[in-house]
A and B are shown apart, each in its own frame.
Chain A
Amino acid sequence: MHPRDKPAAPAARLDRQGPASIGLPTTVRVQLTDWLHGLGASDDAVFNIGLATYEAMANAVVHAYPFGMAGEVEMHAWVDEGTVTVTVADHGRWKPPLSEPDPLGGRGLVLIRQLAEQASVVPGEQGTLIRMSWTL
C-alpha cells in the first residue's frame, strides 16, 4: 500500500533539517504547529512549543552560524506516553550566554526556560543541543 493510502493517523514524530537561514525557523515552526494540532494539542501547548522551538532554532541560526556561515540545523520532535519532546541541534560553536549575557540570545533562552516544562542546553564540541519537553 502506498503511504498516502493509509488512514490519516498523526505521525508520532516529526524530523526536519536544513541549511541555516533566517527563514528556516519559521518554516519548521509552521510544520511543527500543524503536527501538534494533528495530535490534538491545546492552543496553549501549541503556542508554547511553537515559540520555544522557534527560539531554539533562531539561536542556532544566529549564534552557531553568524554572518551567514553555512551549516545545518536539525529539529526532532516526538510524542511518547503523552509527553512531547523537541530537540534542536546545530553543528556550530555558539556559547550559551550564561557567563556573558547577549541581549538576543539571552532573551531567547529566557523564553525557552519559561515556555518549556523541562529544558536543557548542552554545548559540545560538535555543536549545541537544546532539549525541551511538555506534557500534553
Chain B
Amino acid sequence: MESNPVSADQPPTDVSGANVVLEHQGSAMVVRVTGELDLVTTPMLEESIGTALGDGSPLLVIDLTGVTFLASGALSALVAAHQAGADRTTVRIVAANRATVLPLQMTGLDQVLAVFRTLADALAAGER
C-alpha cells in the first residue's frame, strides 16, 4: 500500500487558518478569534493575549464564538492566559459550539476557566 507523501515545504492551500482581532469594549479587552486554532495559528492567539494583558485592563474576554477547531495547544494558551492574568486581569472565555465546548469539557478546563456562552454574558458578568 503506497503512502502519498505530503509536502511540508509548500504552504498548505487547504488550511483555513485563523484571524485574531483585539478590541476595547468599555474597560474590557476582547480578543476575538475566528477560524482554526491549531499548532500553526495558536501563536497568533498567544501574541494577542500577551498584548491584551500588557494593556492592564481589569477584564480580558477571549471570544471563541467563531472558532471551528480547537486543539490542545490552544487550550494550554487559554490556561496560560488565566494564570498570567492572576489578580490583575480577570480572564473569561466565550465558547458556543461543539468544536470549542467539547475540548474544554473533556479536559475539565470548563471547571478551571470562566466559560460563557455569549460575549454579552461574559461582559455583563461584571469586573471582579
Contact = CB atoms under 8 A, between A and B. Distances in A.
Given A25-B38, A110-B106, A111-B103, A104 B5 contact: no
Contact of A30 (B2, B14, B73, B98): B14
A59 to B, nearest CB: 9
B56 to A, nearest CB: 26
Contacts of A115: 106
Nearest to A55: B72
Given A47-B99, A110-B107, A26 B3 contact: no
20 contacts: A15-B1, A15-B3, A15-B4, A18-B6, A18-B8, A21-B8, A22-B39, A23-B15, A24-B8, A26-B15, A51-B69, A58-B39, A58-B72, A61-B39, A62-B73, A104-B73, A110-B72, A110-B106, A110-B107, A111-B72
Interface of A: 13, 15-28, 30-31, 47, 51, 54-55, 58, 61-62, 74, 76, 103-104, 107-108, 110-111, 114-115
